[in-house]
Amino acid sequence: MFVFLDIDGVLATEDTWDEWFALGSPTDRKHELLDPECVKYVQRLCDRLKAKVVISSSWRCSHSLGELVGILERAGLMLDVVGYTESRFDFDRGREIADYMEVHDLRPQDVLILEDAEVVDPFEARTVRPCFRGDDAGFRGPQYTEALRLVEG
Ligand SMILES: [Mg+2]
């Protein structure tokens, strides 16, 4: 299973960003933007699915893949990261994922998308969409359950 992983809205939330800004936006502590409970559930999901992870977050635009893996690991997230999606001129997240799937010959049933933004069809049925704001923001227990329901039926 390939998991397309967004960061803001999945692992980082409005609250964790506010806390990080309050610290003075320390660039060497970006791993603190990742909510520990969201980290736990994403780890649990990826372990269970033996997931190959593709970073689809815009964080890929400001960090190398190695830097991103370092940030994830400092937050306690040990994933099999195999790459990232390429940016499109229109920054359409769904089409960026579709482009990656086409290049790597992936079918919709091969993928799961964790993404708070709109993802265009035909991948809606393979998408779990947490939210960025609110007390229950991010990927937590309910989103974990939904993800398993999507992939395991
Ligand atoms: Mg996002």
CA 53–ligand 1 middle distance (angstroms): 16
Buried residues in 16-28 as b, exposed as e (16+ CB within 10 A): beeebeeeeeeee
Q: Which of left, alpha, beta for 24 (phi over 0: left; psi -120 to 50: alpha)?
A: left
The span from the CA of 79 to the CA of 13, in Å, is: 20
Chain mean pLDDT for the chain: 94
Q: Does domain 2-152 have CATH number 3.40.50?
A: yes
CB 123 within 8 A of CB 16: no
Q: What is the pLDDT of residues 19-47, one digit of tens each?
A: 999 999 999 999 999 999 999 999 999 99
Between 24-28, 118-122, 142-146, the lowest mean confidence (pLDDT) is in 118-122
CB 2 within 8 A of CB 18: no
**Mean pLDDT across the stretch 110-128?**
84
Rounded to two decimals, the pTM is 0.95
Residue ranges of the domains in the chain?
2-152
CA 115–ligand 1 middle distance (angstroms): 6
| Residue 120 pLDDT greater than 90, yes or no | no
